[in-house]
């Protein structure tokens, strides 16, 4: 392959790619950097990265503190910095740094990957978990018995029961998780109603019915 192939590959990478010399001065800036940040790379070649207006003060302080360790060969985990575009938009980037030692010179090959969407998804996941926790607490203290089974698995095992279920049946969550609901069935439980429930599950339909269940303690329950 021609040498300019690799040059074009780096220039048009979807990520920002920078090369600093051992003094922290820009030795190379790819074209993607210009497109994303709105900077003129020719203006910044040869200047120290700390002079760049395209990062927040917090990120600048972190990079200045980490730079000597990186140059000294200390391996840092990927970290995140916040860049500022020419239009004052802030973009979070995950930073990956590789030290290149050419015997007479030392360079830092730096790749900045936009993680805006990744952080958004993380926040959405955290928000969803918070809502699920609130919902679980609401169900726990609702005063009614609730159980959830996994119909995708063999034997339709119980995967969740609330506190109301424990209080009504006498079974604790640890005693029933992974087991089938038939542990509550007895000789007086209607086979007809059980079959109706099974049929509704197979057809993925809603059903309202009453069946006799046997709790851990002697008295039967009508559900």
Give the total residue count for the chain: 223
Return all residues near 200 (Cβ < 8 A) that are at least 6 apart.
206, 207
Neighbours of 18 (CB within 10 A): 21
User: What is residue 170's predicted lDDT score, i.e. its pLDDT?
Assistant: 87
User: What is residue 140's predicted lDDT score, i.e. its pLDDT?
Assistant: 83
User: What is residue 186's predicted lDDT score, i.e. its pLDDT?
Assistant: 74
Range 140-222 classified under CATH 3.30.450.20: yes
191 DSSP β-pair partners: none
Instruction: Note whether 3-117 and 140-222 share their fold.
Output: yes
Q: Where are the domains of the chain?
A: 3-117, 140-222
SS (H, E, C) 90-131: EEEEEEEEEEEECCCCEEEEEEEEECHHHHHHHHHHHHHHHH
User: What is residue 222's predicted lDDT score, i.e. its pLDDT?
Assistant: 46
Whole-model pTM: value is 0.62
User: What is residue 213's predicted lDDT score, i.e. its pLDDT?
Assistant: 60
Paired sense of beta strands 106-114 and 79-84, if any: unpaired
Residues in the chain predicted with pLDDT less than 50, given as ranges, are 220-223
Range 3-117 classified under CATH 3.30.450.20: yes
């Amino acid at each position: 392959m021609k040498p300019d192939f690799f040059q074009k590959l780096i220039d048009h990478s979807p990520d920002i790619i920078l090369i600093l010399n051992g003094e922290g001065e820009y030795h190379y800036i790819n074209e993607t950097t210009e497109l994303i940040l709105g900077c003129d790379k020719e203006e910044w070649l040869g200047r120290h990265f700390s002079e760049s207006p395209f990062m927040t003060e917090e990120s600048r302080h972190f990079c200045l503190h980490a730079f000597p360790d990186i140059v000294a060969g200390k391996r840092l985990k990927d970290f995140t910095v916040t860049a500022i575009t020419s239009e004052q938009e802030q973009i979070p980037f995950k930073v990956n740094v590789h030290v290149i030692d050419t015997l007479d010179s030392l360079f830092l090959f730096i790749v900045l990957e936009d993680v805006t969407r990744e952080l958004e998804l993380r926040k959405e996941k955290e928000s969803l978990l918070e809502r699920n926790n609130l919902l679980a607490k609401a169900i726990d203290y609702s005063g009614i018995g609730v159980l959830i089974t996994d119909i995708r698995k063999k034997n339709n095992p119980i995967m969740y029961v609330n506190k109301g279920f424990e209080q009504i049946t006498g079974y604790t969550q640890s005693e029933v998780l992974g087991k089938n609901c038939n542990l509550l069935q007895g000789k007086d439980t209607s086979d007809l109603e059980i079959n109706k429930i099974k049929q509704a599950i197979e057809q993925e339909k809603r059903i309202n019915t009453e069946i006799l269940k046997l709790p851990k303690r002697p008295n039967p329950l009508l559900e």
